Structure 1
Amino acid sequence: MKLDPRHLEILAAIVDGGGLTEGAQAIGRAQPSVSRTIAMLEARIGAPLFEKNKRPLVPTELCLGLAGEGRRILAAGNTASAIVATFRTGHRGIVRIGGTPVFMDGVISTLIAEFQQNHPQVRIEQSYGYVPELTDQLVAGTLDVAICPINPTAVPEGFHFVPVLPGRNVIACGSDHPLLRKGSLRLTDIANYPWIAPPASSPLYQDMRHILRDIGVNDIRISFSGGTLASMTAILANSDALTILPYSVVFMARKQRTMAALSIRLNHPERMLGILTRDAEASSPTARRFRRFIDTEFRNLSRFIQQHEQNTVWRD
């Protein structure tokens, strides 16, 4: 025999409330309607659910057993409602985020950890890629958000781009590098040290070539190339090598004291780090909440960097 789960919910409300009127009020129904439901349920079962002619109502053993199941149904319904509510407000769900490796590992990963501290029911699925791959994934619907550096005037048609951080590159080195201790730093000093080259497919690789050409360093020795940010950082911390990195990445690593930026003013690429989406309004509530968080955190980071630069001497 299959019973209507709603009837069991009503039965639980009556038992827990202590009467028909109280049970009806608890579930927002009229008392006559509840009485008819109990009569139908007794007829279907073929046994009374309450002791006859007793006031207040006294549930039978059968009634108590069915009411217990009704409580479970009510609890499951309340849990399901809470799940839907947290999803609608962006506190539950999945966000598929992709971005360029250096920014993802050097900056975004820290922000993801902060986001999940306050949103433990959100799962982040992260992937790596550069702009061509990221735009393809956004079009295919396999990515919700891309965080990458783009020239704002060259955003592909059909995409929405929100700039969050100006493009800014620096010459990075280990925190104990000899050049950091020099009172007067000359460009010729830089040429004497080996260089770490970013992956050839990275925009940073071309940036490095342009920067070195602009500052008059034409003959460099590449000691390491193509590694991840973690490997580049480890080599910087344990050698005298130099490399080109976004200033935001070096700034975020300052607490670990593994690398620093040489105070040499460079020409910067016409790119901005930003949030790239295909259709911002059609995304899930969780993805929209994550985008707002990233936007806010990057604007705060931008202010911190500006304040830090006011106390830094940059040599031309």
Structure 2
Amino acid sequence: MKIDERHLVQLAAVVQSGSVTEGATMLGLSQPAVSRTLAMLEKRLGEPLFIKGRRPLQPTPLGRALADHGQAVLTASRKASALVEGFRHGRTGLVRVGGTPFFMDALISGMIAGFQNALPEVRIEQSYGYLTELRAAIIADRIDLAICPIDVLDEGSGMHFQELLPGRNVVACRVTHPLLLKRKLAGPELLDYPWIAPPPGSPLLSDLRSLVLSLGATETKIRYAGGSLTSAINYMKASDALTILPHSVVFAYRNDKAITALPVHIPHPERALGLLRRTGDPSAPAIEAFAAYIRKSFENLRHLIKRHEQSVVWGI
């Protein structure tokens, strides 16, 4: 015997409230309509659903069992409605974001935590990569958006890039590095110290090569390679090694008072950190909410990072 789930839901509402009138009100139905449903269901089953003469209404064992099934349907329906409402307003859903490792670890991970403090039902899936990999992941629909530095975005690439922060890389070192004691730093002195190699494929590695060439050399002393951001910082804290880092990453670690930047200009193309996504793609509200949160977070940081650059890097 097939029973209409809507009839079970009405039965559950009446059992829960103890009254046909209140059960009907709970579901937004009329009392006569619910009464007809219950009468029709009893006739079809050939069994009573409520004990006669009891007020408030008391279900029979069969009525209680069927009401339990109806309650499960009602609960699932309400959860589905809440899910749809949350999705429409960006309070639920999935955001798949990729980005360059050092930026993600130093800046974006904390922003993700802040976003989820406000919207805990939105799930974030984070991955790492550089521009070529991230663009391919967006095209293949493996990620929804990327946060990465870009110098040139090919026209007709099908990608939209929104700048978050000017991209500036610096020579980083520990706060007690001997080069910080010099009144005037000569560029070639950088080659006297060991270096930490930035990750392969990173713009940081290209900038290190450009710096070395600008100092009239073809190579420098690479003593450590392949580490994460945390390992590179810990290595610098315990040595005189230098490395190339985004200035915003040095800024993110300013309160630790462990690393800083040398007042050295690195020849590199003009680039910016920003949000990369496919042009014209419809996005889920949660993705839009996340992108808006990241943009707002960088708006709040932008002037602080600029001030830090002027005072710490250039001493202005």
TM exceeding 0.5 = yes
User: Structure 1, residues 134-175: CA drift from partner, whole Å, max 9, x if none?
Assistant: 212211111111111112564652111101010111110023
CA contact (8 A) 1:168 1:269 kept: no
CA contact (8 A) 1:130 1:148 kept: yes
Gapped regions of structure 1 (runs ≥ 5)? none
CA contact (8 A) 2:90 2:286 kept: yes
The structural deviation recorded for 1:37 is 0.4
Greater shift after overlay, 202-211 or 54-63?
54-63
User: Structure 1, residues 116-144: CA drift from partner, whole Å, max 9, x if none?
Assistant: 33333333222222212221221111111
CA contact (8 A) 2:210 2:268 kept: no
Q: For residues 274-313 of structure 1, what are the structure 2 equivalents within 5 Å?
A: 274-279=274-279, 281-312=281-312
The structural deviation recorded for 1:217 is 6.4
Q: CA RMSD in A?
A: 2.6
Structure 2 distance, partners of 1:198, 1:49, is 73
CA contact (8 A) 2:93 2:123 kept: yes
CA contact (8 A) 1:233 1:259 kept: yes
* Alpha carbons of structure 1 residues 313 and 240: separation in structure 2 relative to 1, 3 Å: closer
* Alpha carbons of structure 1 residues 162 and 52: separation in structure 2 relative to 1, 3 Å: same
Structure 2 distance, partners of 1:144, 1:208, is 31
Structure 2 distance, partners of 1:247, 1:116, is 26
CA contact (8 A) 1:167 1:268 kept: no
For 2:243, the aligned partner's letter is T
User: Structure 1, residues 32-70: CA drift from partner, whole Å, max 9, x if none?
Assistant: 211110111101221122334566644434323433333
**SS in structure 2 at match of 1:157:** coil
The structural deviation recorded for 1:288 is 1.7
Q: For residues 84-123 of structure 1, what are the structure 2 equivalents within 5 Å?
A: 84-123=84-123
CA contact (8 A) 2:251 2:308 kept: no
* Percent pairwise identity: 49
* Alpha carbons of structure 1 residues 280 and 228: separation in structure 2 relative to 1, 3 Å: farther
Structure 2 distance, partners of 1:124, 1:26, is 36
**Structure 1 partner of 2:18:** 18
Structure 1 distance, partners of 2:249, 2:111, is 12
* Alpha carbons of structure 1 residues 282 and 313: separation in structure 2 relative to 1, 3 Å: closer
Runs ≥4 residues deviating over 6 A: none
The structural deviation recorded for 1:219 is 6.3
* Alpha carbons of structure 1 residues 109 and 17: separation in structure 2 relative to 1, 3 Å: closer
Gapped regions of structure 2 (runs ≥ 5)? none
Greater shift after overlay, 96-105 or 184-193?
184-193
User: Structure 1, residues 198-254: CA drift from partner, whole Å, max 9, x if none?
Assistant: 234222112122234446666632222343323322221111011111100111122
Structure 1 distance, partners of 2:139, 2:184, is 51
CA contact (8 A) 2:260 2:312 kept: no
1:237 correspondence with 2:233: no
**Structure 2 partner of 1:28:** 28
**Structure 2 partner of 1:132:** 132
The structural deviation recorded for 1:266 is 4.3
CA contact (8 A) 2:262 2:313 kept: no
Structure 1 distance, partners of 2:167, 2:38, is 70
Structure 2 distance, partners of 1:261, 1:101, is 19
* Alpha carbons of structure 1 residues 46 and 120: separation in structure 2 relative to 1, 3 Å: same
Structure 2 distance, partners of 1:218, 1:256, is 34
Structure 2 distance, partners of 1:146, 1:5, is 44
For 2:190, the aligned partner's letter is I
